[in-house]
A and B are shown apart, each in its own frame.
Chain A
Amino acid sequence: MLQFIVRRLFNLIPTFIIATFLAWGIIQAAPGDFATQFAFDQVDPNKAERIRQLLGLDQAWYVRYLYWLRNVFLHFNFGTSMTSKASVTALILPLMRNSMVLLIPATVLAFAIAIPIGVYSALHKYSLADRLLTVFSLLGLAVPNFFLALIFLAFSVQWFHHYHWFLIPTGGMTSTDFSSFGPVRQVLDVGWHLIGPVIVVTLSSLAFVSRVMRGEMLEVLSQDYIRTARSKGLSQRAVNMKHALRNAILVIVAIIGATLPALVSGAGSVEYVTGWPGITPLFISSIFAQDVYVVMALLTILTLMLMVGNLLSDLALALIDPRIRY
């Protein structure tokens, strides 16, 4: 087992390096750089060139990639943001935490609701409930989640226009007088602001996860060992719970890793719409400002997160599935 983990970890390194190199190449392929915006400075015509030298932007892009890689690996230093002049790590960490505050409850909730739904639909295949759930998941798959977030936002604004009090907040993560609250009230306030975004992210991933779960459960139910279990006279319940569900859950563990990218991306657009102070709004503004180190750091961290998520779900699968032995 330990050997397997070590091998997998070593396998991650080339992927990580190629992925970051790719990302770096893409970012650098954009014409101009951060200093371009100062190119037509009336007072100081050399300003752009000076800034370029100061930030090291005058060197070849692959040279800067090597510098960047060295700093990340040796010092865990992602560079300095060009717009805010702050360390990228210091800039990103609090936003990362905010994103997690949204992402983790939404993921847990999505799986907690989707798994029972998927199992139920599979066990009652083609029943009325299954057909209804199928229709709902078809509808759910077709709604863009930024649109859903937009509807939520507009709804809460409308509610406020009409009743002059907020049912759910119209965006952001905290109320304006947040700092004057006590610690308990602060947590409650964030929780209240979470309601809308979490519902949207959960709803948008619900359809997908429950579909996968239903498919896997059906796959397991059509296996020979289920027929054997039935034919030797086991109760329906024992067959479903002991023989089928246990095997279908394995697949869910495997797909948690695979659904993470979709969840992160989905939460990203919801963050942008609802003004949740997570990483996506920063990512968008950094892209427009060509603040390459911030963009690069975010891409790197997200990539790393996904790779580790995949690894963990593979490991969990190897732990609980007796058929997988390394």
Chain B
Amino acid sequence: MERARRDVETGQTPAGQQAVQGASLTTIAWQQFKKHPMARTALVILGIMYLLAAFADFVAPYPEHDINPNATFEPPTVVHFVGPQGHLTWPYIYGLKKTIDMQTFESVWTTDTSTRHPLKLFVRRTGIRDRYVPFPVNLIPVQLRHVLGIRPWATLHLFGVGDASDQVKIHLLGTDDLGADVFGKLMFGARISLTVGILASIVAIAIGMLMGGLAGFYGGWIDEIILRFVEALSAIPDLFLLLTLSAIFYPLHLPSTTQFMVIIVALSVIGWGQTARAVRGQVLSLRERDFTVAAQALGASNTRIITRHLLPQTLSFIIISLSIQIPGYTLAESVLSFFGLGVQPPSTSWGLMLSTAQSFAGVTGLGDRWWIFTPGVAIFIAVLTWNLLGDGLRDAFDPKSRR
């Protein structure tokens, strides 16, 4: 920056080599990242998924805890773009009627083609239960909102059929065993499934860096104790340790926000060991470097050496480990919720939605109720895109992994 300004003042154009030399870590990383088309695509897909999760109330046609015991396992609504005369029209849907087959006692859904219900954009729903707190505000905890007196609410939805009595409903991905809209639930579930990975890996890396840093910097018995502890922790198989940890909190019937934090803590307790080991190794090697020794010789305190000299060296490391760990934690959360020890109803996550699929998979096959398996696809896409993004980030920040 300084040099560039000087160059401008003296009227000289900076040589290309100089510009590259002066490039910051993030600039280099961004240049490297742009070379990865897959990683860029993954970034865009992930961005869309996070946006959908953030604005779930707006995109989902019905409110979060909307259930309908009379419409369980309703098949997905077909949106028609072509009218009966075979010409393109504004999209419309037909209502579905449920009858019960008296021989098998299974519900049979028939399409009621008598009336066409046109799809409407930007529908307002008027019921008191339809009010929701719009996105940036709903991140503030409820109690704090009440104290501060912030009570905004909205009723706008992206699309719907505009039927106030809800006789005809639109379920793009059908309904589940409670009659809740699977399409909407996928987006409400994404709020948990997509954030658990990020938060858990941040916590795990923070613990890991603290412990690894302590072990590496001080050595001696601190190092010995921490290493032993990490070794013992990694000796227990992950899945079983995770289940045991979550079982501590299961009998407490915690409110869903607390349960969410419990999951994050449980996941990070499982995962910090890896980071601690890696950080310890890094600190051990950094401690011997000339610049650390020089700082020590100049009389810098331990705190100063750690915060000013050692921590900045680890930025790339943090970003790389984050990108490696996030997909793993996302999967772990889904397994945990699938086993019934993670997110508890009425909150929802993709893993929990699949546990519904599990309890009905033995009765109905894949083809009959395929839509209750869609959360698995969502997990798949999320993990895949995070992995791809991670590959791109690793290449961007780690000079050794570049091709």
A residues near B (Cβ < 8 Å) are 14-16, 18-19, 22-23, 26-27, 29-32, 36, 138-139, 141-144, 146-147, 150-151, 153-155, 157-162, 170-171, 261-262, 264-265, 268-269, 272-273, 283-284, 287-288, 290, 295, 298-299, 302-303, 306-307
**B235 contacts A147, C-beta separation under 8 Å:** no
Chain A contacts for B361, CB-based, 8 A: 150, 153-154, 157
- Interface: B384 (CB within 8 A): yes
**B341 contacts A287, C-beta separation under 8 Å:** yes
Chain A contacts for B327, CB-based, 8 A: 142
- Interface: B231 (CB within 8 A): yes
**Residue interface mask B219-249, A partner, CB < 8 A = 1:** 0000000001101110111111101110111
Task: State A201–B245 Cα separation when bound (angstroms).
Answer: 24
Chain B contacts for A265, CB-based, 8 A: 237-240
Of B231, B241, B338, the contact of A23 (CB 8 Å cutoff): B241
Chain B contacts for A298, CB-based, 8 A: 240
- Interface: B387 (CB within 8 A): yes
Of B252, B376, B387, the contact of A31 (CB 8 Å cutoff): B252
- Interface: B380 (CB within 8 A): yes
Interface range on chain B (Cβ under 8 Å from partner): 35 or more
- Interface: B358 (CB within 8 A): yes
**B248 contacts A26, C-beta separation under 8 Å:** yes
Report the minimum CB–CB distance from B294 to chain A (whole Å): 35
**B248 contacts A30, C-beta separation under 8 Å:** yes
- Interface: B156 (CB within 8 A): no
Chain B contacts for A290, CB-based, 8 A: 247, 251
Of A142, A146, A155, A302, the contact of B240 (CB 8 Å cutoff): A302
Task: State A16–B231 Cα separation when bound (angstroms).
Answer: 10
- Interface: B346 (CB within 8 A): no
Report the minimum CB–CB distance from B355 to chain A (whole Å): 9
Of B239, B358, B364, the contact of A268 (CB 8 Å cutoff): B239
- Interface: B393 (CB within 8 A): no
- Interface: B250 (CB within 8 A): yes
Given A22-B233, A144-B380, 16 other A-B residues pairs in contact with their CB atoms under 8 A: A18-B229, A18-B232, A19-B233, A26-B244, A26-B248, A30-B247, A30-B248, A142-B380, A154-B364, A157-B363, A170-B362, A171-B362, A272-B339, A287-B243, A287-B341, A306-B236
**B365 contacts A155, C-beta separation under 8 Å:** yes
**B362 contacts A22, C-beta separation under 8 Å:** no
* Smallest Cβ-Cβ distance to B233: which chain A residue: A22
Task: State A143–B341 Cα separation when bound (angstroms).
Answer: 20
- Interface: B335 (CB within 8 A): yes
Of B250, B331, B373, the contact of A151 (CB 8 Å cutoff): B373
Report the minimum CB–CB distance from A212 to chain B (whole Å): 14
> Can you list 26 A-B contacts with CB-CB less than 8 angstroms, sorted by A residue number?
A15-B231, A15-B232, A15-B235, A23-B236, A26-B248, A29-B248, A143-B380, A144-B379, A147-B354, A151-B373, A153-B362, A154-B364, A154-B365, A157-B361, A157-B365, A157-B366, A160-B365, A262-B238, A264-B237, A269-B339, A284-B243, A288-B250, A299-B241, A299-B244, A302-B237, A303-B236
Task: State A44–B338 Cα separation when bound (angstroms).
Answer: 37
Report the minimum CB–CB distance from A52 to chain B (whole Å): 16
Chain A contacts for B235, CB-based, 8 A: 15-16, 19, 303, 306-307
**B339 contacts A142, C-beta separation under 8 Å:** no
**A157 contacts B335, C-beta separation under 8 Å:** no
Of B338, B365, B376, the contact of A269 (CB 8 Å cutoff): B338
